[in-house]
Amino acid sequence: MKKTIVMTAMIVAMAMMPANTWSRDRGVKDELTKTECGACHMVFQPRFLPAVSWTNIMSDLGNHFGEDASLDEESRTKIEAYLVKNARKKEFKYIGNGTQPIRITEIRWFKREHRNEVSKRAMKRAGTMANCVACHKGAEKGQYDDD
Amino acid sequence: MKKTLLVISTAVMVALAAPAFAGAKQDAVMDHYKKLAKGSFSAERGKAFYSAVHTGGKPATPSCTSCHTKSPTGTGQTRANKPIAPMALSKSPDRFGDLKKVEKWFGRNCRSVLGRECTVQEKGDFLAFMYSQ
């Protein structure tokens, strides 16, 4: 009897904790990257793109998806090193000899994952598929399986 | 007695003339531009510059208000739909306290909106406007 009560209490306590207590924070930890690459949009986790993609992004910040995101050379080098170190280990094979993507939203699995999943209303609210936080509350912590 | 009153009223007037919301850091940033400028700065000119529709930059963002909204006390939005806290110092007292950050954004945003760097006069006028809001 006592045992059952203890067990029940534990289960209730666990159920009451917020869901993300259980999922690991996989967000960007580097402060410089958080500040500089989180000013105009959420700071994207480097693990989504291979190293070469980050190198390409970081070498053309003056023309960053139509925006001027240029940085002083010291910050630029530091951030590139962080992104490259934490990048996706393998390049996307399906691309073959072509250029690796610089958009997460153009990766094949990303498109497959979102096709038919996104309502018109959610899309209108987000404005752009790059606005991950609009649909994934835990996106900054790297949590996308919330909804 | 009269003298004391005069001193007090002068002090009050000076305090009123100075930007109302600026702290020590914001004053230091303003001083940096004042030293480089030939004349003085005007919040009125800053307001006009902020609201003006410019040519020479990117067609998608012809004005500071394209991202920062018409009212400097309003919450703006980046092109990637992230909210931007108001530029007005009364609403965002931490703004304009870090010269390196201020220069970085003047650089990017002036190139985007005007297709060139902003002049010291334009920067100072813009800040004078935001400090007064």
| B65 in contact with A, Cβ within 8 Å | no
Q: How far is A69 from chain B (nearest CA, A)?
A: 7
| A70 in contact with B, Cβ within 8 Å | yes
User: CA nearest B20: which of B9, B7, B30?
Assistant: B30
pLDDT tens, A2-54? 666 655 555 555 555 555 455 678 899 999 999 999 999 999 999 999 999 99
Residue B54: CB partners within 8 Å, gap ≥ 6?
B62, B63, B113, B114
Q: What is the pTM of this model?
A: 0.88
Domains and CATH numbers, chain B: 2-132 (1.10.760.10)
The residue of chain A with its CA nearest to that of B76 is A40
Tell me the pLDDT of chain B averaged across its residues.
89
Tell me the pLDDT of chain A averaged across its residues.
88
Instruction: Provide the pLDDT for residue A25.
Output: 85
User: CA nearest B19: which of B116, B127, B121, B101?
Assistant: B127
Instruction: Provide the pLDDT for residue A14.
Output: 53
Instruction: Provide the pLDDT for residue A146.
Output: 73
pLDDT tens, B85-125? 999 999 999 999 999 999 999 999 999 999 999 999 999 99
Beta bridge partners of B84: B76
CA angle (B94 as vertex; B89, B95 as ends), nearest 5: 60
What is the C-alpha to C-alpha distance for residues A128 and A125, in angstroms, rounded to an integer? 9
pLDDT band at residue B17 under the 50/70/90 scheme: very low
Residue B126: CB partners within 8 Å, gap ≥ 6?
B46, B49, B50, B64, B118
Q: Is the Cβ pair A41, B108 closer than 8 Å?
A: no
The residue of chain B with its CA nearest to that of A72 is B104
pLDDT band at residue B16 under the 50/70/90 scheme: very low
pLDDT band at residue B13 under the 50/70/90 scheme: very low
Q: In the Cβ-directed half-sphere of A69, how many Cα atoms lie within 13 Å?
A: 24
Instruction: Provide the pLDDT for residue B101.
Output: 97
Amino acid at position B49, single letter: F
What is the C-alpha to C-alpha distance for residues A40 and B108, in angstroms, rounded to an integer? 12
Lowest-pLDDT choice from A14-18, A20-24, A71-75, B40-44: A14-18
Q: Which residues of B touch A68 (CB under 8 A)?
A: 107-109, 111-112
Q: Which residues of A touch B80 (CB under 8 A)?
A: 40-41, 128, 130-131
Using only the alpha carbons of chain B, give its radius of gyration.
Answer: 16
Q: How far is A39 from chain B (nearest CA, A)?
A: 8
What is the C-alpha to C-alpha distance for residues A31 and A43, in angstroms, rounded to an integer? 11
| B3 in contact with A, Cβ within 8 Å | no
Q: Is the Cβ pair B81, A134 closer than 8 Å?
A: yes
Q: Which residues of A touch B103 (CB under 8 A)?
A: none
Q: How far is A54 from chain B (nearest CA, A)?
A: 19
Instruction: Provide the pLDDT for residue B12.
Output: 46
Asked if A108 and A118 count as a contact pair (C-beta separation under 8 A), the reply is no
Tell me how far CA of residue B15 lies from CA of A147, B19, B25, B105, B128, in angstroms.
Answer: 54, 8, 17, 29, 15
Instruction: Provide the pLDDT for residue B121.
Output: 97
User: CA nearest A4: which of B88, A29, A12?
Assistant: A12
Instruction: Provide the pLDDT for residue B21.
Output: 84
Q: Is the Cβ pair A69, B108 closer than 8 Å?
A: yes
Rounding to the nearest 10 degrees, give the CA dihedral for residues B56, B58, B63, B65: -170
What is the C-alpha to C-alpha distance for residues A62 and A74, in angstroms, rounded to an integer? 15
What is the C-alpha to C-alpha distance for residues B55 and B63, in angstroms, rounded to an integer? 9
Using only the alpha carbons of chain A, give its radius of gyration.
Answer: 19
pLDDT band at residue B14 under the 50/70/90 scheme: very low
| B121 in contact with A, Cβ within 8 Å | no
What is the C-alpha to C-alpha distance for residues B47 and B133, in angstroms, rounded to an integer? 10
| Residue pointed to by tokens 């390049």 | A91
